């Protein structure tokens, strides 16, 4: 199969682990030069090391998506180092406190929305600005089946943030398709990432929990999500605009 991202530069925001790391490695495996960004440099460095060990090209930038000056610098640095930005995967996100609305700490509410919604807005704002001035590009945001497509008790902040993100994705997609920038989202269900583990839960216990609650009978593999992201970012998905691709083993259905 021909590598779909040869000679393209891809930015993965939130690339220090989980879905972001899997996606960064998948992009690199298909020929891209990958830049991973996030707040924990050690985790980003581990992603870069895995990619380079596999023969790929990658580097890292430390950036907090809630700070616009850092987001602006992040995009500018990618362009300066690699000559442009062709694809962005905005994957940074946090779960926040699980609590009923009346018991939810307002600081937690603000922090979750700052990262999951405002952070993606700021990232897209600067990614789009470069892409529309240089021939276009593709952006994929990580939403969630929680909030965007179903409700989960005790997850008001996270659910609200992902519902907002899905709307933001559609709005941005329609605003900028005329600029040659194609924007979509992927909404994963439960996958083998740290965020899906309950406090004190083992990976085996998590697998058993989701085997009984997910129609397909198992938890999702990270590669199944990265495959969806790569398809949405590729030329193969050229007619997909403002789409939120649910990959959740049948939970939403």
Active site residues: 158
The SS3 of residue 100 is coil
**Closest residue by Cα to residue 144 from 124, 123, 166, 122:** 166
Query: Is the distance from CB of 24 to CB of 60 less than 8 angstroms?
Result: no
- Beta-sheet pairing, 57-62 with 87-90: unpaired
Please state, in angstroms and rounded to a whole number, the distance separating the CA atoms of residues 71 and 124.
9
Phi, psi at 32, each rounded to 5°: -80, 155
Q: How far is the C-alpha of 100 from the C-alpha of 89, rounded, in Å?
A: 31
Q: Are 217 and 180 a contacting pair, CB within 8 Å?
A: no
Helix axes 68-82, 119-133, angle to 10 degrees: 40
Phi/psi for 98 (5° steps) reads -90, 115
Q: In sequence order, what are the residues at sequence separation of 6 or more whose Cβ sits closer than 8 angstroms to the Cβ of residue 248?
A: 145, 149, 187, 188, 189, 190, 214, 220
Which residue in the block uniquely carries the two structure tokens 């993965």? 12
């Amino acid at each position: 199969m021909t590598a779909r991202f040869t000679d393209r530069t891809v930015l993965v925001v939130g690339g220090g682990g989980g879905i972001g790391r899997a996606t960064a490695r998948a992009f690199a495996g298909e020929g891209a030069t990958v830049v991973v960004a996030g707040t924990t440099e050690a985790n980003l460095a581990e992603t870069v090391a895995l990619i380079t060990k596999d023969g790929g090209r990658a580097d890292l930038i430390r950036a907090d998506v809630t700070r616009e000056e850092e987001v602006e610098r992040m995009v500018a640095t990618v362009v300066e180092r690699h000559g442009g930005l062709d694809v962005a995967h905005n994957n940074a996100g946090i779960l926040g406190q699980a609590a009923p609305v009346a018991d939810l700490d307002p600081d937690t509410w603000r922090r979750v929305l700052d990262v999951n919604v405002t952070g993606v807005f700021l990232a897209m704002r600067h990614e789009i600005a470069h892409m529309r001035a240089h021939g276009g590009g593709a952006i994929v945001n990580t939403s969630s089946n929680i909030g965007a497509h179903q409700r989960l008790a005790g997850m008001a902040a996270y659910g609200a943030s992902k519902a907002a993100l899905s709307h933001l994705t559609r709005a941005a997609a329609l605003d900028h398709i005329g600029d040659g920038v194609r924007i979509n989202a992927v909404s994963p269900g439960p996958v083998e990432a740290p965020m899906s583990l309950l406090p004190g839960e083992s990976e085996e216990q998590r697998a058993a929990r989701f085997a009984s609650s997910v129609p397909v009978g198992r938890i999702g593999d990270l590669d199944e999500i990265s495959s969806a992201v790569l398809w949405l970012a590729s030329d193969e998905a050229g007619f997909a605009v403002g789409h939120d691709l649910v990959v959740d083993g049948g939970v939403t259905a």
